Amino acid sequence: MAKQISELKLGILGGGQLGRMLIQEAINYNLTTLVLDPDHEAPCKHLANYFECGSITDFDTVYKFGKKADVITIEIEKVNIEALEQLEKEGKMVFPQARVIRLIQDKGIQKQFFKENDIPTAPFQLANTKEDLLNSSFPFPYMLKQRKDGYDGKGVMRINNIADLDNAFDSPCLIEELVDFEKEIAVIVSRNSNGEVKTFPMVEMEFNAEANLVEFLISPSTYPEHVQERAETIAKNIAAALNITGLLAVEMFITRDGQILVNELAPRPHNSGHHTIEGNYVSQFDQHLRSVFNLPLGDTRAINNAVMLNVLGEKGHDGVAKYQGLEKIMAIDGVYVHLYGKKYTKPFRKMGHITIVDQNREAAIEKANLIKETLKVIS
């Protein structure tokens, strides 16, 4: 790249919290940031150098927006691929590449990609209609996932028996064997255009079953080194098979019999990497910028034990957000608060995250549990 990073314009499709944290990092490089988002009060609005309220799924809107930038990236996969493909043809740099986003937009194509590239994943079957589900011989219970547009626990349901099919999705879906897993883990891998690849240390996740969202994320993992190396190798193999430029989050299961199975991919900064802002030498957001601008990748090692806690809107609260207990948690050592600039809360909406850094892993987890009980987002 002939120009320096500080002379370039970065276009971001999506103006949510991931874009906001990416801009917070981009400011350190004097980067000019442009954001397109359909919400006129998106979290990125007041941080971006240029903010446009518009559809990220409309061809003309995305195409015209992309023409203004030197490098285009995403913070959400649900974007207009055809516009990005056209921009690539005209010489614009789109990272991750449009073909990668296309593959990841469809969970069915994603699973077929795993199969074709010998990536370990749970057995699956594709279905186009509810009738296909009724005619399927796939054994119960299983997970049913909509092939497109599912995120943060939406578009996913457990099917226990034939009666559950009454409420099943009547759209293209993925039937997936129910994995008896011991732990959900994630590895974030970064790759620049030179082919330099680095992984962040494997992290462990604890889920909120009701919201189907990550509640706690613990870094680094305490699994044996050979398990962590295997997970990191799988992530590197996927990045190489995709030939991706940018960041790739690889969500995986460790089964009770010791297998590692890939669940899903996200070709962008991800919830499983938020702890890296304070917990690692380089953050996932810095690494994403280094990747897409083809700069040397940073040191991904963990500095300390870190626990990340998602701050979710309380049940029964819908309205202007108020943060109850914020001062109390800020009095605790090693606590870092990240609020996402969302004016309104609703049940289980991601309103922010808290990272707790401590030399003692158990102490960090204890603090996270205390914060979970203390900090409430109400209206």
Q: Pick the closest to residue 338 from 32, 26, 53, 43 (CA basis).
A: 43
Token pair, residue 212, equals 């189907």
Is 315 marked within a binding site?
Answer: no
Is 282 marked within a binding site?
Answer: no
Is 369 marked within a binding site?
Answer: no
Distance in angstroms (rounded) separating the CA atoms of residues 185 and 170: 30
Is 176 marked within a binding site?
Answer: yes
Q: Which helix (H) or strand (E) holds 31?
A: none
Is 264 marked within a binding site?
Answer: yes
Can you spell out the DSSP letters for 252-308?
EEEETTS-EEEEEEESS--GGGTTHHHHBSS-HHHHHHHHHTT-------BSSEEEE
**CB burial class (10 A; 0-12, 13-18, 19+) of residue 57?**
middle
Backbone angles phi, psi at 17, to 5 degrees: -65, -30
Distance in angstroms (rounded) separating the CA atoms of residues 220 and 4: 34
Is 177 marked within a binding site?
Answer: yes
Other beta carbons within 10 angstroms of residue 307's beta carbon come to 28
Token pair, residue 359, equals 């030399």
Max CA pair span of the chain: 61
Distance in angstroms (rounded) separating the CA atoms of residues 28 and 100: 28
Dihedral angle of Cα 248, 30, 195, 285, to the nearest 10 degrees:
-20
- H-type helices in 91-140, by residue range? 98-105, 107-116, 130-135
Is 84 marked within a binding site?
Answer: no
Token pair, residue 334, equals 């090693």
CA distances (Å), origin 135, targets 148, 215, 259: 22, 36, 30
Find the helix packing angle between 81-89 and 98-105, rounded to 10°.
160
Strand-pair partners of 307: 218, 356
Which residues participate in the annotated binding site?
107, 145, 176-179, 184, 263-264
Q: From the annotation, which residues make up the binding site for ATP?
A: 107, 145, 176-179, 184, 263-264
